[in-house]
Amino acid sequence: MKLWDKGYEPDKLIENFTVGNDRELDLQLARYDVLGSMAHIRMLASIGLLGADELPLLLDGLQAILNDIDAGRFTIEEGIEDIHSEVELLLTQRLGDIGKKIHSGRSRNDQVLVDLKLFFRDKLRETAQGVATLFHRLQSLSEQHKDVLMPGYTHLQVAMPSSFGLWFGAYAETLVDDLRLLAAAYAVADQNPLGSAAGYGSSFPLNRTMTTQLLGFSTLHYNVVAAQMSRGKTERAIAAALSAIAATLGRFAMDVCLFMCQNFAFISFPDEFTTGSSIMPHKKNPDVFEIMRAKCNHLQSLPNEIALMTTNLPLGYQRDFQLLKDVLFPAFSEMAACLQLCDVMLQHIRINRDILDDPRYDYLFTVEDVNRLVLSGTPFREAYREVGMQVQQGTYHPTRTVHHTHEGSIGNLCTEQIRQKFDDVIQSFGLPKSE
């Protein structure tokens, strides 16, 4: 069955090429297609395009399909082009000709758009929840280990004292910035395109405000052309947000791989959370974080991939948009897996509390000693030269004490203030403010 059937069948090779992976991917949209149809037919009944006796029958029929979807019994049959066709076919088989009335006033264009927007909203909420879980884990570790010093680096050279509180806390606050981008993508997705039809509206007196309210959208995509132009634009916004989170996770994964190696030995994990070598008996490899790093690098290619697929397309719907599902749908699963595994691994991380006992880190404290001289009255340039000469001549001996008190420093992590920033953003998704 094809919604565009006009009495002829396309060549099989053409059909297979144009349908692509839609039957498999559309199963993820099944629930949302039914919900969109429920809202649409309620609206049709309100403007007289469905009879009072027809609406309950159609709603019951759609509810039965929804029950099958939720129970895992729903499939898109061989020869059926997409999810929209399958749902309408099932209704028609069960109810007769009134099942054919549900498409009045809409096109597959706005039908798939509303499916996608509802799907994206849920996936973005799930992603935000995953970010929230990891954020709270990082903040907890930051507070737990705030007094444990570790080396800070610039140019991968020993630079100044840092702390595990700063390290964990830095990634927590960076996730807040990533969450802002995710919230922006959510706002783009949270607009109702239903009623824009093929992109130019309908001569039926559709009540688009009603379907907006029924489907829980924050607002309408008012201009019907703009609604259709959001196909591709929404995916770009989501890709940018997922890429930002991936950049943060990928960088953290790189830190973990570096800090686990014997040359650093800042952190470790239980043996069962590492893997071994087939030839070297001593190896305990950070494979989880290496795979996470690779996945996150892949996710960072999303914006470019989607941009290349949608750049310079003319106004109106183009079939190119269909392939965006192949790119973006798996990305949500990859992101969810990375967030989950990062949280699981961090539940078992072990911290080396005695890193700075090693004399190789003596030079971490040169700036502390310069500042100490300045506080006692020595001009900065003279203090810098004095400590610098000690280093050059091999006579420098660090005091190994740190006294940082300003906002966001070793001694003042501002954990609560960062959590407040997080709480302000997370409300955009309707998620609980605290863990």
CATH of the domain at 24: 1.10.275.10
Provide the residue type at 329 as one letter. F
Residue 5 lies in a domain: no
Q: Strands, DSSP E only, in 33-184? A: 149-154, 157-163
Cα 11 from Cα 34, distance rounded (Å): 30
Does 55 lie in the same domain as 134? no
pLDDT of residue 7: 56
Residue 423 lies in a domain: no
Is residue 435 very low, low, confident or very high in pLDDT (cuts 50, 70, 90)?
A: very low
Cα 109 from Cα 115, distance rounded (Å): 10
Residue with tokens 């943060």: 248
- Please enumerate in sequence order all residues whose Cβ is within 8 A of that of 410, keeping only pairs 6 or more positions apart, or say none: 146, 149, 161, 162, 163, 165, 166, 402, 404
What's the residue count for the chain?
Answer: 435
Q: Is the pLDDT of residue 167 over 70?
A: yes
Q: Which residues are registered as beta bridge partners of 275?
A: 285
Residue 425 lies in a domain: no
Supply the Cα-derived Rg of the chain in whole angstroms.
28
| From 33-47, 55-69, 191-205, 272-286, the region with the lowest mean pLDDT | 272-286
pLDDT of residue 283: 85
108-144 and 83-95 helices cross at what angle (nearest 10)?
Answer: 120
Residue with tokens 């392939």: 323
Residue with tokens 């990533």: 178
Task: State how many domains the chain has.
Answer: 3
302-310 and 324-346 helices cross at what angle (nearest 10)?
Answer: 170
Q: What does pTM read for this prediction?
A: 0.92
pLDDT of residue 79: 78
Does 187 lie in the same domain as 277? yes
pLDDT of residue 5: 53
Residue-number span of the structural domain to which 20 is assigned = 12-104
**Residue 198, CB half-sphere, CA atoms under 13 Å: how many?**
5
| Mean of per-residue pLDDT scores for the chain | 92
Average pLDDT (265-277) is 90
Cα 174 from Cα 345, distance rounded (Å): 19
pLDDT of residue 4: 44
Does 284 lie in the same domain as 255? yes
Does 171 lie in the same domain as 316? yes
pLDDT of residue 431: 78
Does 237 lie in the same domain as 88? no
The alpha carbon of residue 142 and the mean position of all alpha carbons in its chain are separated, in whole angstroms, by 23
Is residue 320 very low, low, confident or very high in pLDDT (cuts 50, 70, 90)?
A: confident
